[in-house]
Structure 1
Protein backbone atom coordinates (compact mmCIF):
# COMPACT_ATOMS: atom_id res chain seq x y z
CA UNK A 1 0.00 0.00 0.00
CA UNK A 2 1.35 3.43 -0.93
CA UNK A 3 2.02 5.93 1.83
CA UNK A 4 0.03 9.14 1.99
CA UNK A 5 3.11 11.24 1.21
CA UNK A 6 3.81 9.16 -1.91
CA UNK A 7 0.22 9.68 -3.08
CA UNK A 8 0.48 13.44 -2.50
CA UNK A 9 3.70 13.60 -4.51
CA UNK A 10 2.08 11.59 -7.28
CA UNK A 11 -0.88 13.99 -7.35
CA UNK A 12 1.49 16.96 -7.67
CA UNK A 13 3.40 15.29 -10.52
CA UNK A 14 0.23 14.45 -12.42
CA UNK A 15 -1.17 17.94 -11.81
CA UNK A 16 1.99 19.58 -13.19
CA UNK A 17 2.22 17.26 -16.20
CA UNK A 18 0.21 17.06 -19.40
CA UNK A 19 -1.15 13.63 -18.39
CA UNK A 20 -4.96 13.58 -18.15
CA UNK A 21 -5.43 10.13 -16.63
CA UNK A 22 -3.24 7.55 -14.86
CA UNK A 23 -3.83 4.18 -13.19
CA UNK A 24 -1.27 2.59 -10.86
CA UNK A 25 -1.43 -0.85 -9.27
CA UNK A 26 0.79 -1.38 -6.23
CA UNK A 27 0.64 -4.28 -3.72
CA UNK A 28 -2.95 -5.17 -4.53
CA UNK A 29 -4.35 -1.64 -4.42
CA UNK A 30 -5.22 0.41 -7.48
CA UNK A 31 -4.95 4.19 -7.68
CA UNK A 32 -6.73 5.98 -10.53
CA UNK A 33 -6.28 9.69 -11.14
CA UNK A 34 -8.11 11.73 -13.73
CA UNK A 35 -7.88 15.44 -14.44
CA UNK A 36 -11.18 17.20 -14.95
CA UNK A 37 -11.30 20.98 -15.33
CA UNK A 38 -8.16 21.52 -13.24
CA UNK A 39 -9.26 19.19 -10.39
CA UNK A 40 -7.38 15.97 -9.66
CA UNK A 41 -9.52 13.09 -8.41
CA UNK A 42 -8.09 10.16 -6.49
CA UNK A 43 -9.93 6.88 -6.18
CA UNK A 44 -8.57 4.01 -4.09
CA UNK A 45 -10.65 0.81 -4.03
CA UNK A 46 -10.59 -0.97 -0.70
CA UNK A 47 -8.52 -4.13 -0.48
CA UNK A 48 -10.13 -6.58 1.94
CA UNK A 49 -6.96 -7.71 3.68
CA UNK A 50 -5.53 -4.21 4.17
CA UNK A 51 -7.05 -1.68 6.64
CA UNK A 52 -8.42 1.44 4.92
CA UNK A 53 -5.81 3.76 6.40
CA UNK A 54 -2.77 3.10 8.46
CA UNK A 55 -1.04 6.27 9.53
CA UNK A 56 2.45 5.05 10.21
CA UNK A 57 4.33 8.25 9.53
CA UNK A 58 2.34 10.59 11.77
CA UNK A 59 3.46 9.07 15.09
CA UNK A 60 7.04 8.95 13.83
CA UNK A 61 6.99 12.57 12.63
CA UNK A 62 5.49 14.01 15.82
CA UNK A 63 8.39 13.16 18.18
CA UNK A 64 10.92 14.49 15.65
CA UNK A 65 9.12 17.84 15.46
CA UNK A 66 8.84 17.95 19.23
CA UNK A 67 12.58 17.32 19.60
CA UNK A 68 13.45 20.12 17.19
CA UNK A 69 11.18 22.53 19.05
CA UNK A 70 12.73 21.53 22.35
CA UNK A 71 16.22 22.25 20.96
CA UNK A 72 15.11 25.68 19.78
CA UNK A 73 13.52 26.41 23.14
CA UNK A 74 16.73 25.42 24.93
CA UNK A 75 18.81 27.74 22.75
CA UNK A 76 16.65 30.84 23.11
CA UNK A 77 16.97 31.32 26.89
CA UNK A 78 20.78 31.34 26.54
CA UNK A 79 20.60 33.93 23.79
CA UNK A 80 18.42 36.23 25.86
CA UNK A 81 20.64 35.85 28.96
CA UNK A 82 23.26 38.37 27.72
CA UNK A 83 21.83 41.41 25.98
CA UNK A 84 25.29 42.41 24.64
CA UNK A 85 25.29 39.40 22.34
CA UNK A 86 24.32 39.77 18.68
CA UNK A 87 22.52 36.85 17.01
CA UNK A 88 23.48 35.90 13.49
CA UNK A 89 20.29 34.36 12.11
CA UNK A 90 19.54 32.26 9.05
CA UNK A 91 18.08 34.37 6.25
CA UNK A 92 16.38 31.30 4.74
CA UNK A 93 15.36 27.69 5.24
CA UNK A 94 18.16 25.32 4.31
CA UNK A 95 21.07 23.19 5.47
CA UNK A 96 23.78 24.75 7.65
CA UNK A 97 27.45 24.11 6.80
CA UNK A 98 30.40 25.40 8.84
CA UNK A 99 32.94 25.03 6.02
CA UNK A 100 33.05 25.55 2.24
CA UNK A 101 33.73 21.83 1.65
CA UNK A 102 33.99 18.65 3.74
CA UNK A 103 37.81 18.74 3.45
CA UNK A 104 38.14 22.39 4.55
CA UNK A 105 38.20 23.83 8.04
CA UNK A 106 35.29 25.74 9.53
CA UNK A 107 34.88 29.41 8.60
CA UNK A 108 34.75 30.36 12.30
CA UNK A 109 35.05 28.69 15.69
CA UNK A 110 34.20 29.83 19.20
CA UNK A 111 36.65 32.65 19.95
CA UNK A 112 37.12 33.68 16.29
CA UNK A 113 37.18 37.43 15.59
CA UNK A 114 34.79 38.54 12.84
CA UNK A 115 34.22 41.67 10.79
CA UNK A 116 30.86 42.69 9.29
CA UNK A 117 31.87 41.21 5.91
CA UNK A 118 33.36 37.97 7.36
CA UNK A 119 31.73 34.79 6.03
CA UNK A 120 30.71 32.66 9.02
CA UNK A 121 28.90 29.75 7.32
CA UNK A 122 26.96 28.54 4.29
CA UNK A 123 23.24 27.81 4.13
CA UNK A 124 22.31 25.57 1.22
CA UNK A 125 18.84 26.09 -0.19
CA UNK A 126 17.63 24.43 -3.39
CA UNK A 127 21.19 23.43 -4.35
CA UNK A 128 22.41 27.02 -4.03
CA UNK A 129 25.15 27.67 -1.48
CA UNK A 130 24.55 31.03 0.21
CA UNK A 131 27.43 32.56 2.19
CA UNK A 132 26.24 34.13 5.44
CA UNK A 133 28.18 37.14 6.72
CA UNK A 134 28.58 38.23 10.34
CA UNK A 135 27.16 41.76 9.74
CA UNK A 136 28.79 42.85 13.01
CA UNK A 137 32.32 43.23 14.36
CA UNK A 138 33.10 41.05 17.36
CA UNK A 139 33.96 37.60 18.66
CA UNK A 140 32.06 34.33 18.15
CA UNK A 141 30.83 33.26 21.60
CA UNK A 142 28.67 30.28 20.68
CA UNK A 143 27.70 28.19 17.64
CA UNK A 144 24.04 27.27 18.08
CA UNK A 145 23.60 24.64 15.33
CA UNK A 146 25.46 21.55 14.16
CA UNK A 147 27.11 21.07 10.79
CA UNK A 148 24.63 19.58 8.29
CA UNK A 149 21.60 20.54 10.40
CA UNK A 150 18.43 21.87 8.78
CA UNK A 151 17.73 25.47 9.81
CA UNK A 152 14.62 27.62 9.60
CA UNK A 153 14.21 31.23 8.48
CA UNK A 154 15.21 33.52 11.37
CA UNK A 155 16.76 30.72 13.44
CA UNK A 156 19.80 31.92 15.43
CA UNK A 157 23.04 30.33 14.15
CA UNK A 158 25.75 32.15 16.14
CA UNK A 159 26.09 34.42 19.15
CA UNK A 160 28.63 37.22 18.70
CA UNK A 161 29.94 39.48 21.44
CA UNK A 162 29.97 42.77 19.54
CA UNK A 163 32.48 45.52 20.17
Structure 2
Protein backbone atom coordinates (compact mmCIF):
# COMPACT_ATOMS: atom_id res chain seq x y z
CA UNK A 1 0.00 0.00 0.00
CA UNK A 2 1.46 3.34 -1.07
CA UNK A 3 1.54 6.54 0.99
CA UNK A 4 -0.90 8.22 -1.43
CA UNK A 5 -3.41 5.37 -1.04
CA UNK A 6 -3.20 5.67 2.76
CA UNK A 7 -3.84 9.42 2.58
CA UNK A 8 -6.86 8.86 0.30
CA UNK A 9 -8.28 6.33 2.77
CA UNK A 10 -7.88 8.86 5.58
CA UNK A 11 -9.69 11.52 3.52
CA UNK A 12 -12.55 9.12 2.71
CA UNK A 13 -12.76 8.16 6.39
CA UNK A 14 -12.95 11.86 7.33
CA UNK A 15 -15.95 12.36 5.03
CA UNK A 16 -17.78 9.27 6.24
CA UNK A 17 -19.89 8.67 9.33
CA UNK A 18 -17.68 5.81 10.50
CA UNK A 19 -16.29 5.91 14.05
CA UNK A 20 -13.41 3.52 13.42
CA UNK A 21 -11.86 1.55 10.60
CA UNK A 22 -9.30 -1.25 10.40
CA UNK A 23 -7.63 -2.48 7.23
CA UNK A 24 -5.00 -5.17 6.70
CA UNK A 25 -3.76 -5.58 3.14
CA UNK A 26 -0.49 -6.52 1.41
CA UNK A 27 1.46 -6.79 4.66
CA UNK A 28 0.20 -3.39 5.93
CA UNK A 29 -2.16 -2.80 8.84
CA UNK A 30 -4.03 0.54 9.13
CA UNK A 31 -6.31 1.51 12.03
CA UNK A 32 -8.27 4.80 12.20
CA UNK A 33 -10.48 6.07 15.04
CA UNK A 34 -12.69 9.14 15.19
CA UNK A 35 -12.44 11.21 18.38
CA UNK A 36 -15.82 11.82 20.12
CA UNK A 37 -15.56 15.66 20.09
CA UNK A 38 -13.46 16.12 16.99
CA UNK A 39 -14.99 17.37 13.74
CA UNK A 40 -12.30 15.57 11.74
CA UNK A 41 -11.19 12.06 12.52
CA UNK A 42 -8.34 11.59 14.91
CA UNK A 43 -5.77 9.26 13.48
CA UNK A 44 -4.50 7.27 16.42
CA UNK A 45 -2.42 4.83 14.46
CA UNK A 46 -1.71 5.26 10.81
CA UNK A 47 1.74 3.76 10.91
CA UNK A 48 2.54 0.93 8.61
CA UNK A 49 2.87 -2.30 10.57
CA UNK A 50 3.55 -5.67 9.03
CA UNK A 51 0.69 -8.12 9.34
CA UNK A 52 1.93 -11.14 11.32
CA UNK A 53 2.43 -14.08 9.05
CA UNK A 54 3.12 -17.66 9.88
CA UNK A 55 6.85 -18.23 9.91
CA UNK A 56 7.93 -20.21 6.87
CA UNK A 57 9.34 -23.62 7.58
CA UNK A 58 13.12 -23.52 7.67
CA UNK A 59 14.53 -25.25 4.61
CA UNK A 60 18.18 -26.13 4.23
CA UNK A 61 19.58 -25.73 0.75
CA UNK A 62 22.82 -26.39 -1.02
CA UNK A 63 23.47 -23.19 -2.94
CA UNK A 64 25.68 -22.38 -5.90
CA UNK A 65 29.04 -21.01 -4.67
CA UNK A 66 29.58 -19.51 -8.14
CA UNK A 67 27.60 -18.79 -11.28
CA UNK A 68 27.79 -21.55 -13.85
CA UNK A 69 26.08 -24.34 -15.74
CA UNK A 70 24.61 -27.06 -13.51
CA UNK A 71 25.47 -30.65 -14.32
CA UNK A 72 23.75 -33.41 -12.34
CA UNK A 73 26.06 -36.17 -13.63
CA UNK A 74 29.80 -36.54 -14.26
CA UNK A 75 29.12 -37.27 -17.96
CA UNK A 76 26.06 -37.27 -20.24
CA UNK A 77 25.95 -41.08 -20.36
CA UNK A 78 26.32 -41.53 -16.59
CA UNK A 79 23.71 -41.47 -13.81
CA UNK A 80 23.33 -38.30 -11.69
CA UNK A 81 25.47 -37.84 -8.60
CA UNK A 82 22.33 -37.68 -6.43
CA UNK A 83 18.55 -37.89 -6.82
CA UNK A 84 15.69 -36.94 -4.53
CA UNK A 85 15.66 -39.27 -1.53
CA UNK A 86 19.40 -40.05 -1.73
CA UNK A 87 21.47 -40.18 1.48
CA UNK A 88 24.82 -38.42 1.09
CA UNK A 89 27.88 -38.00 3.29
CA UNK A 90 29.55 -34.70 4.12
CA UNK A 91 31.91 -33.75 1.29
CA UNK A 92 30.31 -36.13 -1.24
CA UNK A 93 29.92 -34.52 -4.68
CA UNK A 94 26.27 -33.69 -5.43
CA UNK A 95 26.76 -31.91 -8.78
CA UNK A 96 29.18 -30.01 -11.01
CA UNK A 97 29.14 -26.35 -11.94
CA UNK A 98 30.95 -25.25 -15.09
CA UNK A 99 32.25 -21.70 -15.25
CA UNK A 100 34.73 -20.49 -17.88
CA UNK A 101 35.45 -24.06 -19.07
CA UNK A 102 36.37 -25.11 -15.49
CA UNK A 103 34.39 -27.81 -13.68
CA UNK A 104 33.83 -27.35 -9.94
CA UNK A 105 32.58 -30.19 -7.78
CA UNK A 106 29.90 -29.07 -5.32
CA UNK A 107 30.07 -31.07 -2.07
CA UNK A 108 27.34 -31.87 0.45
CA UNK A 109 27.74 -29.60 3.51
CA UNK A 110 26.86 -32.40 5.96
CA UNK A 111 25.48 -35.94 6.15
CA UNK A 112 21.99 -35.45 4.75
CA UNK A 113 19.06 -36.67 2.68
CA UNK A 114 18.37 -34.83 -0.57
CA UNK A 115 14.71 -33.80 -0.57
CA UNK A 116 14.59 -32.11 -3.95
CA UNK A 117 16.84 -31.33 -6.91
CA UNK A 118 15.97 -27.74 -7.85
CA UNK A 119 17.91 -27.44 -11.13
CA UNK A 120 17.80 -29.41 -14.35
CA UNK A 121 20.87 -30.67 -16.16
CA UNK A 122 22.47 -27.95 -18.32
CA UNK A 123 20.58 -25.12 -16.64
CA UNK A 124 22.39 -21.91 -15.64
CA UNK A 125 22.74 -21.39 -11.88
CA UNK A 126 23.31 -17.94 -10.40
CA UNK A 127 25.63 -17.30 -7.47
CA UNK A 128 23.83 -18.18 -4.21
CA UNK A 129 20.90 -19.82 -5.98
CA UNK A 130 19.56 -23.00 -4.31
CA UNK A 131 20.49 -26.18 -6.16
CA UNK A 132 19.16 -28.82 -3.73
CA UNK A 133 16.91 -28.92 -0.67
CA UNK A 134 18.07 -31.30 2.03
CA UNK A 135 17.48 -32.55 5.58
CA UNK A 136 20.50 -33.09 7.83
CA UNK A 137 20.94 -36.62 9.19
Same fold (TM over 0.5): yes
The aligned residue for residue 138 of structure 1 is: 112
Q: In the alignment, what sits opposite 1:148?
A: 122
Supply the distance in 2 between the matched residues of 1:95 and 1:123 (Cα, whole angstroms): 5
Structure 1 equivalent of residue 65 of structure 2: 91
Gaps of 5+ in 2: 1-54
- Structure 2 equivalent of residue 128 of structure 1: 102
Q: How many residues align?
A: 83
Instruction: Choose the corresponding residue for 1:101, options 75, 97, 118.
Output: 75
Q: Which runs of 4+ in 1 moved over 6 A?
A: none
Q: Which has the larger radius of gyration?
A: 2
- Deviation for aligned residue 1:82: 3.1
**1:81 to partner: Cα distance:** 4.3
SS at match of 1:124: strand
Between Structure 1 and Structure 2, the one with more strand by share is: 2
Which structure is higher in helix share? Answer: 1
Q: Distance in 1 between matches of 2:66 and 2:129?
A: 9
TM-score (norm. length: structure 1)? 0.49
What residue is the counterpart of 2:3 in the other structure? none
Aligned-partner Cα distance in 2 for 1:147–1:100: 11
Using a 3 Å threshold, how does the CA distance of structure 1 residues 141 and 81 change in structure 2: closer, same or farther? Answer: farther
